Amino acid sequence: MSDQTEGTSSPPTVTSRVTSREAHPEEIYPPGSVKLLWAKGKVYVHPSKNKKDNVAGFLTLSKEHNTTNKDILVSFTPEYSLSATEVEVFNECDLKTNVEDAEVANLSKDHLLMYQRKNGTGKQFFVKKSIISGIGSYAFSLPISNIYSIQSRTPNLGWWWGSIIINSRSNFEKLPVLFFHDDESQSTLKHQSMKNKDFNPFSSNNPADLFYGGDQFFDCLKKYCVVEKSSLEQAVYLINPTSDDLRAFAPLNVVEQDTTPIGLLGDASKESINKFLTGAKWTILESLARVSQLAKKNVSTVINDSPEPVKKLLQRPEIKRLNDDFDSANIYLAKWALSIQEEAERNKKKYVLDDSYRNLLNSELGITSIDSLSAVELEKAQRTKEVSKIEWDSFFDNAGRLSITVGEVKERIFHGGVSSTVRSEAWLFLLGVYPWDSSSFERKQILRSLNDDYNSYLSKWQDNLEELQNDAYWKDQRFRIEKDVNRNDRNISLYKENGKESEDDVADNIKLNNPHLRNLKEILLTYNQYNKNLGYVQGMCDLLSVIYYVYQDNNISFWCFVKFMERMERNFLRDQSGMKTQMETLNQLVSLMLPNLFLHLEKCDSINLFFFFRMLLVWFKREFMFEDIIPLWENFFTDYYSSQFHLFFCLAILSKHERIIIEHLSRFDEVLKYMNDLSLTMDMKDLLVRAELLFLRFRKMVDIIDHGVLNDKLNTLRAEILKNNKGKRNQPLESSLPHAYEVTDDLRSLLSKDIIIQQEKERIEGEPSD
Amino acid sequence: MSSRKKTLLKVIVLGDSGVGKTSLMQQFVNGKFSHQYKATIGADFLTKELNIDDKNVTIQLWDTAGQERFQSLGVAFYRGADCCVLVYDVTNAKSFEHLGFWKDEFLIQANIKNPNSFPFVVLGNKIDIDESKRTVANKKAMQWCEEKGNIPYFETSAKEAVNIDQAFDIVARNAFQQELENEAEFNEDYSDAINIQLDGDQGGCAC
């Protein structure tokens, strides 16, 4: 990237020998030169709104000796980088290729011969290649083969000048918009007057199409490559499009075949926008990615220049909102990229058959090699219907005992979840409050005794408030609980301000103005009493909040919370060892399953996966709304595949965002911000399906590794290497030979369905809180 | 080259849980206050573009969880900090008493080379709450800041946007000063980590 000021102060790139000569059939190119095929002067780059900043130059097509049409260069050369003689050559070429040639083409056969006798077959223009490919500010040059598409905007009331944007296929370039100042261009003015002379009001050509300099560019370009107008986006011309490009942009003929029943018209138009988006998204994203290093305002330039459907998308509030938290161009673009991608994917799901989705998943997960998943396994990975009350009841016999296996129940819940009418009972089983083999009668008894137990823990602190007021630790804990309860999920109706503040305890630091929040506080204080070593730690309130939401009963919520905390305790330990272990395990999992991403994260200094801290600590509570977090936890509660399935959920999130992270994010803070901002944007069900597929893939990989399926191949490989190096002086080191991969204990623990319990060390009385 | 580098000022905001770290940052960056902010888990940051003496800088404010045990994982965030904001709640004496803890914790975790010259700013938040509930006197806080090497001190209300801009202006200026010193110190190797490359006013160039 060069600086604007550097360009203006530096001398012209070359003081070249400019040759204009009569053409010969064999075409002799002076060394180091290119032949100008077409040129147009008074084409401008507008770096700012200020006229003074405008940069005038020549848009040219030129060809090197012995190259194909695909190699023809499309270049923009600022005037200031040219010498007076060079400008003259360009101008001459401009007039010839845009006016004279057209005039000549209109001559009758006799006149043409006369003309040629007088003037030869036509002047040819050669310039030094270095002029064309100069690297001054705003100059650019790229072969036709590198052009993906060109957008054309004809002049109209709002746009005095017509303009074009060249979209390169390369990821690195964002080319400036080129404005055709027709009123300054001699060749355009002449051509216009020619046209006006010939103007035929009855012509089939659309008279509304105003002629501008860009038209001449397209006319000339068409001689050398296929220029396909997209019917979806009128202003877009595809250059040498592939069949995929054509499909995505649905040129006229494709659309016409695609007839849709009248009743579906609304959807159909949506679909075509979606088709456009799907096809165009990477092009657009890539063009956006290219400006990521530039200033913010350039990003908005690109957005303003975006095709209409994209603009519409950008006007949606959720995408607009991204602007508010703008951090750096990269994060912004990454988010933007994702929102587009997701929009396209969401629509795709609606319109494309399930098979395709499955194929997409397949190919994304790269399931083609030895560790491929079978179709049967894939079939199972689809989410199923939730368990209804009728279905749930059918699992039990007359005595209320389970009549199918626990595994079968869990399988159903894992894949479908339960309906809200079943949830409160199902969770008692899932969390282990009810034994799976209990009868209805036994369960009633359990509930009764739990109620008594709860009351006894409750009274342990409630009856001793006066005494506890002198206990610094207890006071700290209570304050901690009050602070967190008071700001717990205040956005959902259950926990919104409701009624008077509590006046029951004058020693309260914070008066809670919602009865349910007061219940949360009571339960947490009771848990603080129940698990004295752990006590209350930040984040627990988030966990209880969901359980309480389901039961809205202090006693049952408490016991469900107690059971839930058995497995969650390791997240809250003072030494954070449980969290560290999980992050370390996840780290190993990523390196095994997503090696490319792992390498990238390493480069970003993000291999500690710290951005998963919040997600892991409270099981994605901050990333999803209640309506999603409940079924998600329900899924985790089953331990159907693994008691640490949540780590595969993390893996699914990473795999979903792998490409975007790799392509757009390069720093620790960028990755963290990106991951944090995924909150409330993710599709829980999609991620669950991915998580399952990833788990199955992982299990298969471990299986292959453990059974030494690859050992023979590995040994052959090693033997070959050794054989090839036989007799050579430098024998390969043992460590440089291919080795079998060993599954670590951490990774192996992921195959276990047993809950990992890690408890807080004994708390010494009188020790300060935390 | 350096003229085109955009300066990134990294600021760490520390203090007890519930003193209003997130609210202060939100008020400063987005000019809003909400009762719905949840307890911060893990870490996050907000950024704002500022102009200090005609220099455009980006201030990056890091917010972390207030419970001590979560700090052990925070080392990664502290690295490269240019200023540390210590926040307490004027109605919560404990949160004031802990300022020393947070200060030391930061100096250790961030591995600050010259602890005596590293810029801190202390904010006493929640001055909108009724005076009768105030438990930390202005004088006491001022004295503490003076003793700790004349740390700038502000009394703020994130809720009512009192003194926010003034406080963060000093934060930014001190961070900027520190950043210049850091830059001089680690001129080459670390420059990438602390500067964002932004090609200022370029209109889109093709090279």
Is the Cβ–Cβ distance between A422 and A490 less than 8 Å? no
Which chain A residue's Cα is nearest to B203?
Answer: A47
Which pLDDT value is given to residue B161?
97
* Listed ranges A32-36, A429-433, A693-697; the one with the highest mean pLDDT: A429-433
Tell the burial category of A743 from Cβ atoms under 10 Å away from its Cβ (0-12, 13-18, 19+): middle
Alpha-carbon distance B30 to nearest alpha carbon in chain A (angstroms): 8
Residues near B91 by beta carbon (within 8 Å), at least 6 away in sequence: B126, B129, B133, B134, B135, B136
Given pLDDT bands bounded at 50, 70 and 90, which one contains residue B157? very high
Which pLDDT value is given to residue B49?
93
Strand segments (E) across A276-429: none
Which pLDDT value is given to residue A337?
54
Which pLDDT value is given to residue A188?
82
> Which of B60, B69, B206 is opposite residue A574, by nearest beta carbon?
B69
Which pLDDT value is given to residue B13?
96
Residue A668 has pLDDT above 60, yes or no: yes
Q: Do B41 and A538 touch (CB under 8 A)?
A: yes
Q: Which of A744, A613, A591 is nearest to B67 (CA)?
A: A613
Phi, psi torsion values for A497, nearest 5 degrees: -55, 130
Tell the burial category of A38 from Cβ atoms under 10 Å away from its Cβ (0-12, 13-18, 19+): buried
B177 touching A (Cβ < 8 Å): no
> Which of B17, B46, B202 is opposite residue A538, by nearest beta carbon?
B17
- Other C-beta atoms lying within 10 Å of the C-beta of residue A101: 14
Which pLDDT value is given to residue A261?
34
Which pLDDT value is given to residue A200?
45
Residue B168 has pLDDT above 90, yes or no: yes
Is the Cβ–Cβ distance between A34 and A64 less than 8 Å? yes
* pLDDT over 70, % of chain A: 68
- In chain A, which residues have their Cβ closer than 8 Å to the Cβ of B22? none
* pLDDT over 90, % of chain A: 37
Residue A11 has pLDDT above 60, yes or no: no
- In chain B, which residues have their Cβ closer than 8 Å to the Cβ of A74? none
Q: Which residue has the higher pLDDT, A158 or A184?
A: A184
Q: Which residue has the higher pLDDT, A302 or A739?
A: A739
pLDDT digits (tens, 9 = 90+) for A521-574: 999 999 999 999 999 999 999 999 999 999 999 999 999 999 999 999 999 999
Q: Which residue has the higher pLDDT, A100 or A531?
A: A531
**Domain of residue B13, CATH code:** 3.40.50.300
Q: Which residue has the higher pLDDT, B106 or A232?
A: B106
Residue recorded with tokens 């689809």: A382
Arithmetic mean of pLDDT over chain B: 86
Q: Do A539 and B39 touch (CB under 8 A)?
A: yes
The strand pair at A227-229 and A55-64 is best described as: unpaired
**A174-188, A255-269, A354-368: which range is least confident on average?**
A255-269
The strand pair at A227-229 and A178-180 is best described as: unpaired
- In chain B, which residues have their Cβ closer than 8 Å to the Cβ of A175? 204, 206
Which chain A residue's Cα is nearest to B69?
Answer: A574
Token code pair at residue A153: 């905007």
Residue A701 has pLDDT above 50, yes or no: yes
> Which of B39, B70, B199 is opposite residue A484, by nearest beta carbon?
B39
Q: Which of A399, A401, A427 is nearest to A413 (CA)?
A: A427
Strand segments (E) across A46-155: 55-64, 73-78, 123-128, 140-143, 147-153
Arithmetic mean of pLDDT over chain A: 77
Residue A719 has pLDDT above 70, yes or no: yes
Given pLDDT bands bounded at 50, 70 and 90, which one contains residue A383? confident
SS3 state of residue B64: strand
pLDDT digits (tens, 9 = 90+) for A456-477: 999 999 999 999 989 999 999 9
**Residue B93 falls inside a structural domain:** yes
Alpha helices, DSSP H, located in B58-199? 75-78, 93-97, 99-109, 138-147, 164-185, 191-194
Tell the burial category of A78 from Cβ atoms under 10 Å away from its Cβ (0-12, 13-18, 19+): buried
> Which of A480, A489, A614 is opposite residue B42, by nearest beta carbon?
A614
Given pLDDT bands bounded at 50, 70 and 90, which one contains residue A608? confident
**Residue B39 falls inside a structural domain:** yes
Token code pair at residue B153: 């001190």
CA distances from A521 to A57, A111, A485, B37, B95 (A): 72, 99, 6, 18, 21
Instruction: Label each residue of A367-396 as H, E or C.
Output: CCCCCCCCHHHHHHHCCCCCECHHHHHHCE
Given pLDDT bands bounded at 50, 70 and 90, which one contains residue A360? very low
Any idea how long chain A is? 770
* pLDDT over 70, % of chain B: 85
Task: Tell me the mean pLDDT in the region A250-272.
Answer: 37
Given pLDDT bands bounded at 50, 70 and 90, which one contains residue B178? very high
SS3 state of residue A167: strand
Name the DSSP letter for residue B69.
G
Q: Which residue has the higher pLDDT, A49 or A533?
A: A533
Which pLDDT value is given to residue A321?
42
CA distance A97 to A102: 8
Alpha-carbon distance A614 to nearest alpha carbon in chain B (angstroms): 5
Name the DSSP letter for residue A418.
B
Given pLDDT bands bounded at 50, 70 and 90, which one contains residue A84? confident
Q: Positive or negative, the Cα torsion across B3, A14, A59, A50?
A: positive
Q: Positive or negative, the Cα torsion across A648, A654, A657, A663?
A: negative
B39 touching A (Cβ < 8 Å): yes
Q: Do B206 and A140 touch (CB under 8 A)?
A: yes
B199 touching A (Cβ < 8 Å): yes
Q: Do B72 and A575 touch (CB under 8 A)?
A: yes
B2 touching A (Cβ < 8 Å): no
Q: Which residue has the higher pLDDT, A297 or B18?
A: B18
Which pLDDT value is given to residue A435?
97
Residue B29 has pLDDT above 80, yes or no: yes
Which pLDDT value is given to residue B189?
44
B43 touching A (Cβ < 8 Å): yes
CB pairs under 8 A between A and B: 147
CA distance A121 to A442: 104
Which pLDDT value is given to residue A499?
74
CA distances from A202 to A197, A207, A209, A371, A677 (A): 14, 9, 14, 67, 58
CA distance A311 to A321: 14
Given pLDDT bands bounded at 50, 70 and 90, which one contains residue A716? confident
* Listed ranges A14-18, A451-455, A602-606; the one with the highest mean pLDDT: A451-455
Residue A9 has pLDDT above 50, yes or no: no
- In chain B, which residues have their Cβ closer than 8 Å to the Cβ of A480? 17, 67
CA distance A434 to A429: 5
Residues forming a β-bridge with A167: A149
Residue A270 has pLDDT above 50, yes or no: no
**Residue B1 falls inside a structural domain:** no
Q: Which residue has the higher pLDDT, A449 or A281?
A: A449
Q: Which of A538, A537, A536, A499 is nearest to A516 (CA)?
A: A499
Phi, psi torsion values for A353, nearest 5 degrees: -60, 155
Which pLDDT value is given to residue B101?
92
**Residue B2 falls inside a structural domain:** no
Query: Domain of B39?
Result: 7-202
Which chain A residue's Cα is nearest to B45?
Answer: A673
> Which of B66, B69, B94 is opposite residue A576, by nearest beta carbon?
B69
Q: Which helix (H) or strand (E) holds B55?
A: strand B55-64
B97 touching A (Cβ < 8 Å): no
Residue B203 has pLDDT above 70, yes or no: no
Residue recorded with tokens 């984040």: A539
Residue A52 has pLDDT above 50, yes or no: yes
CA distance A653 to A597: 12
Residues near A664 by beta carbon (within 8 Å), at least 6 away in sequence: A289, A292, A330, A331, A333, A334, A337
- Cα angle: A608, vertex A613, A532; to 5 degrees: 125
The strand pair at B83-89 and B5-15 is best described as: parallel
Q: Do B41 and A539 touch (CB under 8 A)?
A: yes
* Listed ranges A282-296, A411-425, B76-90; the one with the highest mean pLDDT: A411-425
Q: How many domains does chain B have?
A: 1
Alpha-carbon distance B92 to nearest alpha carbon in chain A (angstroms): 10
Q: Do B198 and A293 touch (CB under 8 A)?
A: yes
- Please report, for chain A, how many H helices and E strands are present, in that order: 34, 11
B204 touching A (Cβ < 8 Å): yes
Token code pair at residue B84: 């540390």
Token code pair at residue B12: 């760490």
**Residue B83 falls inside a structural domain:** yes
Q: Do B204 and A2 touch (CB under 8 A)?
A: no
Alpha-carbon distance A487 to nearest alpha carbon in chain B (angstroms): 5
Q: Do B72 and A135 touch (CB under 8 A)?
A: no
- Other C-beta atoms lying within 10 Å of the C-beta of residue A564: 23
Alpha-carbon distance B24 to nearest alpha carbon in chain A (angstroms): 16
> Which of A175, A327, A608 is opposite residue B47, by nearest beta carbon?
A327
Rg of chain B over all Cα atoms, to the nearest angstrom: 17
Which pLDDT value is given to residue A184?
86
CA distance B100 to A290: 47
Residue B81 has pLDDT above 60, yes or no: yes
Which pLDDT value is given to residue A138?
80
Alpha-carbon distance A173 to nearest alpha carbon in chain B (angstroms): 6
CA distance A175 to A290: 9
Which pLDDT value is given to residue A369?
39
> Which of A301, A576, A676 is opposite residue B72, by nearest beta carbon?
A576
B139 touching A (Cβ < 8 Å): no
Residue A247 has pLDDT above 90, yes or no: no
Which pLDDT value is given to residue A507?
60
- In chain A, which residues have their Cβ closer than 8 Å to the Cβ of B65? 538
Q: Do B38 and A487 touch (CB under 8 A)?
A: yes
Q: Do A542 and B94 touch (CB under 8 A)?
A: no
Token code pair at residue A37: 């095929």
Q: Which residue has the higher pLDDT, A715 or A332?
A: A715
> Which of A135, A488, A541 is opposite residue B207, by nearest beta carbon?
A135
SS3 state of residue A17: coil
- In chain A, which residues have their Cβ closer than 8 Å to the Cβ of B70? 538, 576
Any idea how long chain B is? 207
Residue A578 has pLDDT above 70, yes or no: yes
Which pLDDT value is given to residue A286?
43
* Listed ranges A315-324, A334-343, B29-38; the one with the highest mean pLDDT: B29-38
- For an interface test with B, give the residue of A300, A303, A487 to mutate (most B CBs within 10 A): A487
Alpha-carbon distance A350 to nearest alpha carbon in chain B (angstroms): 35
Which pLDDT value is given to residue A175?
79
pLDDT digits (tens, 9 = 90+) for A494-530: 999 877 766 555 566 788 999 999 999 999 999 999 9
> Which of A138, A537, A610 is opposite residue B206, by nearest beta carbon?
A138
Q: Do A47 and B204 touch (CB under 8 A)?
A: yes
CA distances from A710 to A702, A706, A737, A742 (A): 12, 9, 15, 12
The ipTM (two decimal places) reads 0.88
Is the Cβ–Cβ distance between B191 and B179 less than 8 Å? no
Residue A124 has pLDDT above 80, yes or no: yes
Is the Cβ–Cβ distance between A644 and A582 less than 8 Å? yes
Residue recorded with tokens 């003229």: B3
Is the Cβ–Cβ distance between A290 and A171 less than 8 Å? yes
Which pLDDT value is given to residue A141?
87
Residue A708 has pLDDT above 60, yes or no: yes
Please give the span between the terminal C-alpha atoms of chain A, in angstroms, as a whole number.
52
**Residue B207 falls inside a structural domain:** no
B7 touching A (Cβ < 8 Å): no
Alpha-carbon distance B157 to nearest alpha carbon in chain A (angstroms): 18
Task: Tell me the mean pLDDT in the region A745-750.
Answer: 94
